[in-house]
Structure 1
């Protein structure tokens, strides 16, 4: 089996509140909070890239793991610095990992879980003994600033884990996709702005996340009663609440940072885990169920036994 050896996260310093958005959109703090659970999010300043956040989060995860090198680097992102080449090799180089194999994974909000399955597979195959997995997004750069349906939801950030040999730790990674729903979450070819069909995505997310979470538990030989902490993709508080109800997991067990950072897409789960671990909501030995849904359509879930690590959670450029 594989285990998490270290965890880190990085957020941009710019805080954007609901009141800030209400100055230019037909919305209000109450409207946003009642529909999403979000009160603020972090957005990058012009000139700050996805790879900048990825490098900072990766350095934090390496520091958390007490390592300076790994055997492979995987970066999950929907917002790379450029469409070609992948950003993982550049991120690896900036971390002093020149020569290490590095590649990107694109599965939108399920990107971290797809990347985790990738990392576990590299270790199981013998291709690597340690893998740095980073999920990083700057969704603010692809949003339509005048679309209150999306502009109020997404935030920027990056989270990372170092995965290595050992166990028990990471359970079976259960993944799925359905390309017939590709138009529900997309940035059209030649287009500049992200688009999402909110109502259809809500229904599909609740259904798929509930199903795949139960599947992951069953494959790990566990049931909902065994879950100490549910770590759902931070898409929308109503989605998180609905999935918890469907699984029969008490609200007190559901991890959330949505109110402060919004939906950080692929980075959502690792940012959530780093935040929870850094602030005492997640402790060594906790059985964690992580579950996500994203564009593609894609979805996934995994069980984790949380390790005894010190999370490194902070703001880009302020505390490293």
Structure 2
């Protein structure tokens, strides 16, 4: 028997404040910037997104998503011996959002008279919108080698704090949220639920097409701390590399694209999602779509979409899922798993 990993629970959380296109258009108008619901929907497929309130952080979103995933898996906080958080919007420079989440999970458990999660490894992964694919792959490797048995893997983002609301080309795209999965060790012949293959890539030559070119120095911000994006360059690269990564994981697993039950892509733009599905000869009826209500939540978008698919009854046990993401760096990757 071979040691595999499988997803045993999923969870997600969106901040309560829903911002519709109409809300955002009205705000832009006060700044003298023209836009419309029709313009945003036609170019992106987005109708609304959720923004976090002041006083809350990425770890707060991650906590709620984690508790849902643990409940779905029938596990307690003390069962978790690894936490990997994919985020580009951490609570602070350091320590990691994962360690802050570990503390908050322990406090939640102890308030109920249960043991906490202290002692297991906890760290962040930074690959922007590909972050959850990277984090899932890293956690899978650690479990397969025996370094952990039960991992919380999350994407958690508060991109609203990185947006330039004078740039209508980017501020309409992004939202906040968190998604989580509980990944556990299992042993079988590979025919049951398991993560089957993964494929990760990066090309630093394209750093400048999607970035937040700022940093801290001497207590001051150095550079520009707001998001910058060359939309056409990102679109051109994204569709091609997503197809390559998808075909790579299918080839590694010896499975044809036609066997995929659900494509769960990074929810960046409906046109990118449609283009990738078309290249794989998959109908949009096989694609989980949440971008219309969530916007682009970066590393959180894939686990948010996965949890939506599970809780809506679309994703069912035994189905074959293809997860894929692309983001700043330039990074991209895919994971194939049987749920």
Shift of residue 218, structure 1, vs aligned partner:
0.8
Q: Matches of 1:149 and 1:81 in 2, distance apart?
A: 26
Q: Does 1:187 align with 2:212?
A: yes
Q: Deviations over 1:149-186 (max 9, x none)?
A: 11101010000001011254111110000000011111
Q: Matches of 1:286 and 1:29 in 2, distance apart?
A: 36
Q: Matches of 1:220 and 1:83 in 2, distance apart?
A: 38
Q: Does 1:102 align with 2:127?
A: no
Partner of residue 241, structure 1: 274
> Cα RMSD between the aligned structures?
0.9
Q: Matches of 1:223 and 1:235 in 2, distance apart?
A: 25
Partner of residue 260, structure 2: 227
State the aligned residue count.
Answer: 306
TM-score of the pair, normalised by structure 2: 0.89
Shift of residue 22, structure 1, vs aligned partner:
0.9
Between 1:53-62 and 1:32-41, the stretch displaced more is 53-62
Q: Matches of 2:260 and 2:128 in 1, distance apart?
A: 26
Q: Matches of 2:209 and 2:94 in 1, distance apart?
A: 25
Shift of residue 33, structure 1, vs aligned partner:
0.2
Partner of residue 286, structure 2: 253
> Where does structure 1 lack aligned partners over 5 or more consecutive residues?
307-320
Give the secondary structure class of the aligned counterpart of 1:24: helix
Q: Does 1:123 align with 2:143?
A: yes
Q: Matches of 2:130 and 2:232 in 1, distance apart?
A: 19
The structure with more radius of gyration: 2
Shift of residue 147, structure 1, vs aligned partner:
1.1
Give the secondary structure class of the aligned counterpart of 2:274: helix
Q: Matches of 1:233 and 1:87 in 2, distance apart?
A: 21
Partner of residue 39, structure 1: 47
Q: Is the CA contact 2:18–2:49 (under 8 Å) kept in the aligned structure 1?
A: yes
TM-score of the pair, normalised by structure 1: 0.94
Q: Does 1:164 align with 2:184?
A: yes
Of residues 44, 53, 72 in structure 2, which corresponds to 1:64? 72
Question: How does 1:1-320 map onto structure 2 within 5 Å?
Answer: 1-25=4-28, 26-68=34-76, 69-96=79-106, 97-166=117-186, 167-189=192-214, 190=222, 191-306=224-339
Shift of residue 21, structure 1, vs aligned partner:
1.0
Give the secondary structure class of the aligned counterpart of 1:99: coil
Q: Matches of 2:142 and 2:42 in 1, distance apart?
A: 42
> Where does structure 2 lack aligned partners over 5 or more consecutive residues?
29-33, 107-116, 187-191, 215-221
Partner of residue 311, structure 1: none
Partner of residue 313, structure 1: none
Partner of residue 309, structure 1: none
Shift of residue 24, structure 1, vs aligned partner:
2.8
